[in-house]
Amino acid sequence: MLAIDLTGRLALVTGATSELGRGMVRTLAKAGADVVVHYNSNQSMAKMLCEQIKQLGRRSMIVQADITQKDSIASMQQQIADELGEPDILVNNAVIQYQWTKVLQQDAADYEGQFRSCVLQNVFMAQTFVPAMIQKGYGRFIGINTECTMQASPNQSAYIAGKAGMDRTLRVLAKEVGEHGITVNQVAPGWTISENRPDTEATEDYTSKVPLQRRGETQEIANVVAFLASDLASYMTGTYIPVCGGNVMPAI
């Protein structure tokens, strides 16, 4: 039986202290990867995750950075290179949170924030970390998108604009770096159950429209990320993979 084995690989997860981020960090570490835990402000959670990874026998460190600023990402890269080396796996999960509302009421700053955290994060991460992957002839670049990109529902315009821009940017990147043995893929979670809000686990209006008739769990998202990070997905690149119980289905 084939298994996901990331032994000897170094992963960096941005937005690692979020619920999805925590699940991905732990899953990558359990699969054998050393993991760099990025955070913006939640240092205590980052330290806890780092200790959990080390308890699994993996190497780990925490790094603080503003993923919307290239110089901050460059500083993060230098810290990682000095302590653990150059990452083999990038998981770009961080995103700016804001209040959703209608297009006619949405503040322009919200569109700018989503552009910076969805599009420019991936651009800056690629410009900063992919050159070392090219030198190695290996890399896994994974962006965390959303089912919302395909839904285009009311009140989501700034979020969708950012994630749709991210989608097209990463499809282009996949074509540009594929010759160097680097894959570029996206995971698009649905509305995932939150461990902090169990009262939201059953939401009939949402789940009634999902073919699998339930909401997803963090682990189910992390499993797909780990698969894409592994050599089992070595011939997959340029993909947008919904992990949402069939709530959205890319068509051909």
Catalytic residue among 159, 206, 235, 240: 159
Structure tokens belonging to residue 188: 């698009």
Q: What angle do CA 81, 86, 88 make, to 5 degrees?
A: 155
| Residue 220 burial (CB count, 10 A) | 17
User: What is the average pLDDT across 179-183?
Assistant: 98
Write the pLDDT tens digit of every residue in 110-163: 999 999 999 999 999 999 999 999 999 999 999 999 999 999 999 999 999 999
Among the residues of 115-194, which ranges form H helices?
Answer: 121-136, 148-151, 157-177
Write the pLDDT tens digit of every residue in 56-80: 999 999 999 999 999 999 999 999 9
Write the pLDDT tens digit of every residue in 12-38: 999 999 999 999 999 999 999 999 999
Judged by average pLDDT, the poorest of 34-38, 169-173, 247-251 is: 247-251
| 2 pLDDT tier (thresholds 50, 70, 90) | confident
Distance of CA 86 to the CA centre of its chain: 18
Average pLDDT of the chain, as a whole number: 95
> 123 with 45: CB under 8 angstroms?
no
pLDDT above 80 (res 195): no
Proportion of the chain above pLDDT 90, given as a percent = 92
* Predicted model pTM: 0.95
Query: Is the dihedral angle over the CA atoms 120, 123, 126, 129 positive or is it negative?
Result: negative
pLDDT above 90 (res 199): no
| 194 pLDDT tier (thresholds 50, 70, 90) | confident
pLDDT above 80 (res 202): no
Give the neighbor-by-neighbor strand order of the sheet with 240-243: 60-64, 34-39, 10-13, 89-92, 139-144, 182-189, 240-243
> 60 with 87: CB under 8 angstroms?
no
pLDDT above 70 (res 197): no
Write the pLDDT tens digit of every residue in 89-107: 999 999 999 999 999 999 9
Catalytic site includes residue 159 = yes
Judge: domain 10-243, CATH 3.40.50.720: yes
Cα separation values, 132 from 89, 117, 164, 173, 182, Å: 11, 23, 27, 15, 11
Domain ranges in the chain?
Answer: 10-243
